[in-house]
Amino acid sequence: MRKRNTGLKKFASLHKLLLIFTVVLMCCLGFTGCAKSTASHPSETPPADTSHPSNGSTPSPGDVAFWLTMPDRSQLLALQPVALRFTTSTASLPTIEIDSTQTYQTIDGFGFALTGGSAYLIHKLPYAQQQALLKELFGNDSSAIQISYMRISIGASDLNRAAFTYDDMPAGQTDTALQYFDLGADKYDLIPVLQQILQINPHLHILATPWSAPAWMKTNKSLIGGSLDTAFYNVYAQYFVRYLQAMQAQGIPIEAVTPQNEPLYRGNNPSMVMQPEEELRFIRDHLGPALREAKLSTKIIVYDHNCDRPDYPITILQDSMAREYIDGSAFHLYAGNITALSQVHDAFPDKHVYFTEQWTGGPDQFGANLGWDVLNLIIGATRNWSRCVLKWNLANAPDYQPHTPGGCANCLGGITIGDTITRNSSYYAIAHAAKFVPSGSLRIFSSMPAGLPNVAFLTPKGEKVLIVYNATSTTQTFAISFRGKQVTPVLPAGAVGSFVWK
């Protein structure tokens, strides 16, 4: 993760730009990326931020439950005390048509990156507070937001307290037998926190990604920049095998890996460049065969970088030998357009696509950031075939620590852990999906009236879930139409609503 496109932070009205984005969305189901907004820092511990998501008052009897988050924080994932009943009457209103027989991709989940820094902050909390927080995040009762997918780093990311890998050697020395491989610093915070999370949700999806190979394997002998030395391709594949086996021994199954985080960016600490032809060779000739020989079922997902380079995963997937080892492609949205996911999906419809990272820059501009995330990620990524949406990252301190020297200095987590725990905009963006759309859900058809971007899902229990963002500047009364009947909710300007019915 790094700071990018900082000039976009200073535009006068992000909300107006969101309206423009919505017009584009209505035309092509695409969303322009890379807006990283900041604003004056709100009070660090406003009452609305430190509260838990509200179950609200008991709603009046009705067919549809309605959960609302307001851009001014006046309501935060709050169940509305209104009776929303389907009727046969029709009204001349903007209408979202739902068709649960028209299905698209399966959803794996929604969540965050659990960085080493996030784990450190959580693990520092008193045990009872740790448990309460983790149950709120990963539990499955009515008070939890039910995160179902996490991304972790293989070795350090830039949101660790220091850069490291699992086999660091003194300058000039190598360890081709991986004799000194060790999970190291992650045994103190990341692994204990993950073990607690898996006790709460044993079905959690976990994606693991390296920011750098060990320096002695690289062309520049540094954890910053450089490329993987071809002489160590096979050793690095065995490094992945050792990692997966070591994590499994800790009771942490890794579902998928990507070979490199942001493989086209050399400036982070840590970081490593891996061009598409290099990643292709590494997967085809080394990583894929190594995982197969070790009888590991871990998925390999390629790319893990911005939407402006769909040619990167396409180049790899065009190789038939590499393709047999690959599950799909992963994307970020610091550049390009979210429709790149559909471009890659359409080229290789038997391969999956995933949305695996997007930061929020601090201080939080709650309403604008909430709207951007819901519009571009929760709606935009899933409408373009993504099986997951992951935000960067789960937790930070009030001063945006921990991070490495040169790492992201104002990455705002889903929560901020200080004297109190503050729930930020990305917490609520993810919660509006994660709480209601479990793993195994299907995206289903929903129409897109102007100003009301949305996405709909069918859960394994047969519930229908519709997530709507009011991208206009006025309150909208609209209709949800399902099987010949309609219900007419009201959604304030800039608000997000999740609607659930049987």
Q: Which residues are the active-site residues?
A: 262, 357
Residue 423 pairs in a beta bridge with: 415
The span from the CA of 257 to the CA of 402, in Å, is: 24
Backbone phi, then psi, for 140, in 5-degree steps? Answer: -125, 20
CA distances to 156, 209, 263, 321 from 407, rounded to whole Å, are 11, 16, 16, 36
Residue 122 amino acid letter: I
CA angle in degrees (0–180, nearest 5) for 498-51-69: 25
Residue at token pair 């360890």? 175
For the record, the structure tokens of 70 come out as 């307001």
Give residues with Cβ within 8 angstroms of 217, minimum separation 6.
174, 228, 229, 232, 235, 236, 239
CA angle in degrees (0–180, nearest 5) for 297-303-306: 140
Mapped onto helix, strand or coil, the DSSP state of residue 472 is coil
Mapped onto helix, strand or coil, the DSSP state of residue 110 is strand
For the record, the structure tokens of 152 come out as 């972790």
CA distances to 13, 29, 139, 442 from 499, rounded to whole Å, are 28, 21, 21, 16
E-strand ranges in 319-385 read 326-336, 352-357
Residue 484 CB neighbours (<10 A)? 8
